[in-house]
Structure 1
């Protein structure tokens, strides 16, 4: 289960490397089951490779700024776009030309 927090200033949460081209601010996470809430920042030119993505957790993603292109769909998503994905749902691969920042929740 994710840690419980009352309102707090996120400016003090450090940015850490999450994957090549992606940094994150972990707002809350579980040490045991992989659930988390984070802000992920993708640098311009970041890709997720060539493979369609599937994972075993429910995921919600809200784009805060920039754009993200789903290469399978051939569609670009921008600020204000939202996704909710069940475990096993295929998505991606992705590319961002200009970079993007997203709020992501996994459970």
Structure 2
């Protein structure tokens, strides 16, 4: 279970560089890969491969744009994705940079 947290300014959480042009603010986390974070991609950031992971991932784009090179489609603020474990996605590139809310959790089934 994630830790209990009442409303607080997310600006109290420092941005941490995770490498490759991506920084994160981890808002909450728990055991077994549960995570809620803000992820900020710098302008020009890209990934090289199709991504798959063992958890459910929900992503809501807050600012900027993100292009999925496989789908040849660009996503904008307000766009949302929900990916079950194993779903292929990406690779990605952003020209302007972007900020997204990402929620990760284990599937109940």
TM-score range for the pair, normalised by the shorter chain length: over 0.9
Total equivalences in the alignment: 105
SS in 2 for 1:11: helix
Structure 1: state its 5+ residue gaps: none
Runs of 4+ in structure 1 deviating by more than 4 angstroms, as ranges, are none
Residue 7 of structure 1 corresponds to 7
Q: CA RMSD in A?
A: 0.8
Give the Å deviation of 1:18: 1.9
Give structure 2 stretches of 5+ with no counterpart.
none
Residue 59 of structure 1 is aligned with which of 57, 76, 80? 57
Q: TM-score, normalised by structure 2?
A: 0.93
Q: List aligned pairs for 1:21-100, cutoff 5 A.
A: 21-30=21-30, 32-49=31-48, 51-100=49-98
1:17 Cα deviation from its structure 2 partner: 1.2
Match of 1:105 in 2: 103
What's the CA shift for 1:59? 0.4
